[in-house]
Structure 1
Amino acid sequence: MFVAFLRDRAALFFTLALPLMFLVLFGFLFKGATSPHVKVAQVGQVAVLDSVRGDERAGLDQVLTITQVPDEATALQKVRKGDFDALVEQGPNGQVVVRYSAADQVRAGGVQAVLQSVIQSANQQATGQPPKYTLAASQVEDQSLKPIQYLTPGLLGWAVATGAIFSASLSLVSWRKKRLLRRLRLAPVSVGSIVGSRVLVTCVVALMQTAIFLLVATTPVFGLKLTGNWWLVVPLVLCATLAFMSIGLVTGAIAKTEEAANGINQVIILPMSFLSGAFFPLDNSPQWLQQFSHVFPLRYLVLAAQSVLTRGGGLLDCLPAMGGLLAFAAVLTALAWRLFRWEDA
């Protein structure tokens, strides 16, 4: 078995290269990420922010992006949808009012930490006097909202992607290696029936994963609160399953052994999961890396699932993602068809 492993160049490459690739990946991912960068919507004038000038302003801009929004209702809606990390406006008696989304506790904590630092700096300049500014923070959602609102869509997307890619890839390699594909080709069964059966089984498994995730997350232990259009996650998951199956068909067409297929799949799934926001947001990563993440289909599944499950999104929020996932599936399925072999050469 060891000799066979050494002779399998694909399995050898991905097994030995994978740790090095992740070292490089995380080295770039967290390079220069020394402080959180948050995006806030400012409504009207906020004295403590407007008074920052010079070098202090330049330092503030490195960790805080401030966008003027004309009215509070629009700003609150954008915070709920995740376009901004928080809303900031001037309150009475020097109070700085912050409204944040609890769907992402990491970003919510970053917003409060940055603004608290600005307020402390302004108060220190008035030595010997009562604090000029205070911070009043609250979340835009109901107080029962918990971090599970952010974790569930990301982990669900990762689970769907992993199941679809591995099921398509390993099945294809195993069937070819055991000459089952040759027997199916000679049997009175159409290719469409074979492919349709595999797709149907994978879609059913993906829906089972979705049901299990939502059932567990909505228990009182975790407290997931679903929004009104949460059911849109069902067609979204089906479209995503087809997209990820197409990746598995390509890797299954290339790999000659299960070990090689497993290595190729891992080197695709793990970086895609980290670079798609399935586990944590990418706001602190370099700009070029954030742009690069747009090529991964998992990113669109995670963002659309977050919108419809926990942020009150509707059909228009997930329809572009579903269209993109189906287009991705069509392109990679065509590529897999060109690479497909009934038997090993």
Structure 2
Amino acid sequence: MSVKYSQLKAMLAIAKGSFRSSLRSPSTVVFSIGFPLVFILAFAFLGNSSAPKINIAIANNADTSNQVYQQIKAAPGITIKRESGEKLKEDLEKGRITAVVDIKKNSLQPSTYEIGIITSNAVNPQSIAILRTYLNAEIDELNKSLYPNAASIATISDHVVKIPGRIYRTIDFILPGQLGFSLLSAGIFGVAFLFFNLRQQLVLKRFFATPITRTFIVLGEALSRVVFQLLAAVVIIIIGVVFFNFTLVHGFITFLEIMFLSFFALIVFMGCGFIVSGLSKSESTIPPFANLFTLPQFLLAGTFFPIENFPKWLQPFCNILPLTHFNNAMRNISFEGASLLSCWRDLGNLLIWGIIVYAIAIKVFKWE
């Protein structure tokens, strides 16, 4: 009596063998854990010592019909965000906006103005000090050019109003980007080199002689990579929490949501790796093909710098990249306390990318 061939058992056997191979590969471990940790260390320390960007909003009832407002508006070190209501309150509480600036006529000297500052506990005190320096510089410039023989046209209130807020640290921006960096690198370079070598060593050709289908071969290799890379993600997050106070708003629940998001994104990124391995004619052609997928995302997907820092004409391209959607969802979940359901737009975009890349991957799959 013949025993029915089990595609599932064959897939698990492939996954087990591939996972062991990953653990024994120094390059895989370095790319998955080593490089992201080096970037986390470098950017965390660099970010803590650099001057923060100053974003402000103008209070709704502020007097904006005077020269003081126009001078502040033109200041090169200050960006004015047009926000109000709940959106403004939320961004202030989360440190996205340094302060709300209020400009009013001085009740004791009607010809002069008083500048009030409203900020939150989420804002680095250094940012408020820099804002005050910028404002004083603009007031001095205005005094010198228009009122050299008069009293200062404006003064800054010594009393800074603070509302409650969660402190947004450099690590809260850097770690999600580096986790995405790790997942994308492993998903594309790791899978591309692995499958190319399996093809070169005729391992896939031997698989072809067995009843296992190409779908289960791909799933088996994918499973091993997913398990290995999720372990790497756990290590990165633990180091971030323990040594750099990375924010997990809802603790273990947030951690589980991040793990699901990482799993989902890794599956998508690995599809790109399968495409690269299928298109590459030799081992030397893998890096150029892989870099077509990875370099634009490393540089433009908000991995190292906010997308808002790029020119406006470039931002629409940045916002369609799959790594951008992972980074956005990761930061919203870890720091903002958002749920997976509330990140449905980012997850939906990742799903669309996944369908596209796996449709191409199955088309270009080769046994030898």
TM-score, normalised to structure 1, is: 0.74
Structure 2 equivalent of residue 213 of structure 1: 236
Deviation at 1:65, TM superposition (A): 3.3
The whole-number CA distance in structure 2 between the counterparts of 1:139 and 1:239 is: 37
Structure 2 contact 177–302 (Cα < 8 Å) conserved:
yes
Structure 1 equivalent of residue 88 of structure 2: 75
Q: Could you say if the C-alpha distance between residues 279 and 338 of structure 1 is closer, same or farther in structure 2, counting changes exceeding 3 Å?
A: same
Find the partner of 1:253 among 255, 275, 278: 278
CA offset digits 1:151-171 (Å, max 9, x no partner): 111111111111111222112
CA offset digits 1:251-277 (Å, max 9, x no partner): 111112222112321343133111011
Structure 1 equivalent of residue 135 of structure 2: 118
Q: Following superposition of structure 1 onto structure 2, how do residues 2-17 of structure 1 map, counting pairs within 5 Å?
A: none
3-state secondary structure, aligned to 1:338: helix
Find the partner of 2:260 among 235, 238, 248: 235
Structure 2 contact 77–134 (Cα < 8 Å) conserved:
no
3-state secondary structure, aligned to 1:287: coil
Structure 1 equivalent of residue 97 of structure 2: 85
Is residue 2:184 matched to residue 1:161?
yes
Structure 2 contact 121–163 (Cα < 8 Å) conserved:
yes
Deviation at 1:313, TM superposition (A): 1.7
Q: Could you say if the C-alpha distance between residues 316 and 86 of structure 1 is closer, same or farther in structure 2, counting changes exceeding 3 Å?
A: farther
Structure 2 equivalent of residue 44 of structure 1: 60
Structure 1 equivalent of residue 117 of structure 2: 96
Structure 2 contact 55–99 (Cα < 8 Å) conserved:
no
Deviation at 1:129, TM superposition (A): 5.0
Structure 1 contact 277–302 (Cα < 8 Å) conserved:
yes
The whole-number CA distance in structure 2 between the counterparts of 1:52 and 1:68 is: 21
Structure 1 contact 233–305 (Cα < 8 Å) conserved:
yes
Structure 2 contact 333–339 (Cα < 8 Å) conserved:
yes
Runs of 5+ in structure 2 lacking a partner?
A: 1-50, 105-113
The whole-number CA distance in structure 1 between the counterparts of 2:311 and 2:185 is: 26
Aligned residue identity for 1:78: D
Runs of 5+ in structure 1 lacking a partner?
A: 1-34
Structure 1 equivalent of residue 219 of structure 2: 196
Compute the RMSD of aligned alpha carbons: 3.4
Deviation at 1:236, TM superposition (A): 1.1
TM-score, normalised to structure 2, is: 0.70
Deviation at 1:249, TM superposition (A): 1.2
Which structure has the bigger radius of gyration?
A: 2
